Amino acid sequence: MGVRIKSTGISRDTDTFSIVELSGRAARRAMESAGVEPGRVGVMINAGIFRDSNTVEPAVSALIQKAAGIGLDYVKEDPRSFSFDLMNAGVGVLNAVQVAQAVLATGSAEHVLIVSGDTHPSLTRSAANDEFPYATAGAALLLEQTEEPEGFGQVHTRAASGTSGLESYVDVDNMGDRGRGLMTVEIEPDYQDRLLAVALDAARAALAGAETANIALIASTPSAEFPQRLAAELGLDADAVFTPDLSAGDPHTAALPLAYHAAAQADSLANYEHVLFVAAGAGPSAAAVVYRLPATVGAAA
């Protein structure tokens, strides 16, 4: 018994920079691919960090839930759905998997939908640059409980000591009347090396006792080289590393579902039994989990 990915959905559409709209589209595509009506989604978790116009209230999850068409009817007999934000930098998607495992184990929801993605708060561009190193994209994982011996294992989390390595904030001293469209990101020089160390710690905990011959790796992409560096340290083959499209930069919280979606669509995981997911971000902190692949791996268009 476990929790598996029933379907995925992504949105890198270019007609909007709104992460609410892009995440909503990704959620709808995941549900449509699986043939799951919105009323069958009991819980939706948003793991995105950087949002439209630096929105603080209401919860962005509620806005995405509306955009996805989940829980919009209020007739007494209608199924109930709820959503919430779970914000933990680049680690949030795997934290959401932990929550989904607990929710689905109780039988209180048929499906849990995890959405993630980030955008520049100005809503004027989608590509990363030196000032804001994140690309705009929306992604979704639709999860369900299964009686089969497949799905996510235990999620292992780790946190490093010392400074956070990366900080993002609205500079209230200098924002003037432009605060809703600005974000300051500061990265310490040794951030990548410290992040790699804590990611390795989490990954090794997840892999303890596991055979690595048939394991693919999907990891966060704070740099294009980060997943390959991680694979080399873990003794995984370079060809077993799968990444999202990084042409516009790091998709941050959407990196893992984007990479899984692309690999599933291309049938690139056919020769693997497991995927090692490793999420890493500011803290520095990391989480890792081994996912036993179902016999059939599907993805939304």
Residue 19, φ and ψ in degrees, nearest 5: -70, -25
Q: State the pLDDT at residue 44.
A: 98
In angstroms, the CA 57 to CA 63 distance is 10
In angstroms, the CA 136 to CA 252 distance is 9
Query: How many other C-beta atoms lie within 10 A of the C-beta of residue 232?
Result: 13
216 neighbors 183 (Cβ within 8 angstroms): no
CA dihedral 188, 193, 199, 202 (to 10 degrees): -110
Band (300; pLDDT cuts 50, 70, 90): very low
DSSP state of 72: -
Average pLDDT, rounded, for the chain: 93
| Closest by CA position to 168, among listed 219, 114, 96, 120 | 120
Bridge-based pairing of strands 166-169 and 274-281 is unpaired
The answer on pLDDT for 188 being more than 60 is yes
User: Which range (133-142, 207-216, 253-262, 279-288) has the least confidence?
Assistant: 207-216
From the options 3.40.50.970, 3.10.20.740, 3.40.50.1370, 3.40.47.10, give the CATH code of 2-149: 3.40.47.10
Report pLDDT digits (tens) over 216-270.
Answer: 999 999 999 999 999 999 999 999 999 999 999 999 999 999 999 999 999 999 9
Q: State the pLDDT at residue 76.
A: 62
Q: State the pLDDT at residue 171.
A: 79
Mean pLDDT calculated for residue range 146-170: 93
What percent of the chain has a predicted confidence (pLDDT) above 90? 82
| Closest by CA position to 196, among listed 274, 283, 71 | 283
Residues 6+ apart with CB under 8 A from 193: none
Report pLDDT digits (tens) over 49-97.
Answer: 999 998 888 899 999 999 999 988 766 666 678 999 999 999 999 999 9
Q: State the pLDDT at residue 301.
A: 36
Q: Is 276 helix (H, G, I), strand (E, B) or coil?
A: strand
Query: How many other C-beta atoms lie within 10 A of the C-beta of residue 4?
Result: 19
Mean pLDDT calculated for residue range 181-194: 92
Give start-end residues of each CATH 3.40.47.10 domain in the chain.
2-149, 156-292
Q: What's the helix, strand, coil split of the chain in %, to 5? A: 30, 25, 45
Q: State the pLDDT at residue 74.
A: 66
Q: State the pLDDT at residue 77.
A: 63
Whole-model pTM: value is 0.94
Quickly list H helices, 35-114.
60-68, 92-105
The answer on pLDDT for 198 being more than 50 is yes
CATH of domain 156-292: 3.40.47.10
Mean pLDDT calculated for residue range 125-129: 94
What percent of the chain has a predicted confidence (pLDDT) above 70? 96
Neighbour-count burial of 287, counting CB atoms closer than 10 A to its CB (0-12 exposed, 13-18 middle, 19+ buried): buried
